[in-house]
């Protein structure tokens, strides 16, 4: 199963979420999970934001090797599940790539539990803010990903 995590630039939110999802999947019996991330702005080869790297490092995870990539049609053709950060991202996917085969959710649809909810709030972009804000967003990402892992484990049964 392939999970694709998207945001705008693929330098803050989606790399943090994808890296934490890889970590959680490895420790949760989801070794079949393939996790990738991309951005709708098409930024190629940029490192993760310094404060994203710091926030994950504090949790024992390493984003230093991450390099941004723009979303490609092939990413969506092969994704079973797409996790987006904002409604604009979901709208852009629907407009640009209406034939994508996987389910599409906002990350915060999993904030309250393993069953995704409709009308979920967006995850604000921390770019240009301070480390405290990155830590807060990463904490929220972790809650959502923990619930997403439960969701995926239930589907695998």
12-28 burial, b at 16+ Cβ within 10 Å, e below that, comes to: bbbbbbbbbbbbbbeeb
Quick one: DSSP state of residue 108? G
Distance CA 90, CA 6 (A): 9
Looking at residue 77, its pLDDT comes to 87
Nearest alpha carbon to residue 47 among 34, 56, 60, 59? 56
Q: Which two tokens stand for residue 29?
A: 């019996």
Interval 31-58: pLDDT, tens: 889 999 999 999 999 999 999 999 999 9
Q: Give the tens place of pLDDT for each residue, 81-96.
A: 999 999 999 999 998 8
User: How far is the C-alpha of 76 from the C-alpha of 61, rounded, in Å?
Assistant: 26
Domain layout of the chain by residue ranges: 2-156
Residue range 110-153, pLDDT digits in tens: 999 999 999 999 999 999 999 999 999 999 999 999 999 999 99
Residue 112 is classified by DSSP as: S
Beta bridge partners of 34: 2
- How far is Cα 133 from Cα 29, in angstroms, rounded to an integer? 31
Closest by Cα among 39, 24, 35 to 2: 35
Domain 2-156: assigned CATH number: 3.40.50.2300
95 within 8 A of 16, measured Cβ to Cβ = no
């Amino acid at each position: 199963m392939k999970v694709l995590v998207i945001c705008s630039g693929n330098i803050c939110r989606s790399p943090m979420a994808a890296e934490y999802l890889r970590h959680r999947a490895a420790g949760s019996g989801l070794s079949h999970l393939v996790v990738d991330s991309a951005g709708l702005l098409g930024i190629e080869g940029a490192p993760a934001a310094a404060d994203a790297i710091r926030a994950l490092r504090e949790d024992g995870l390493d984003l230093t090797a991450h390099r941004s990539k723009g979303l490609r049609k092939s990413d969506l053709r092969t994704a079973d599940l797409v996790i987006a950060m904002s409604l604009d991202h979901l709208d852009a996917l629907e407009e640009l790539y209406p034939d994508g085969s996987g389910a599409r959710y906002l990350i915060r649809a999993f904030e309250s539990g393993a069953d995704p909810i409709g009308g979920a709030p967006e995850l604000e972009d921390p770019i240009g803010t301070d480390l405290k804000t990155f830590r807060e967003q990463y904490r929220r990402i972790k809650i959502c990903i923990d619930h997403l892992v439960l969701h995926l484990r239930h589907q695998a049964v």
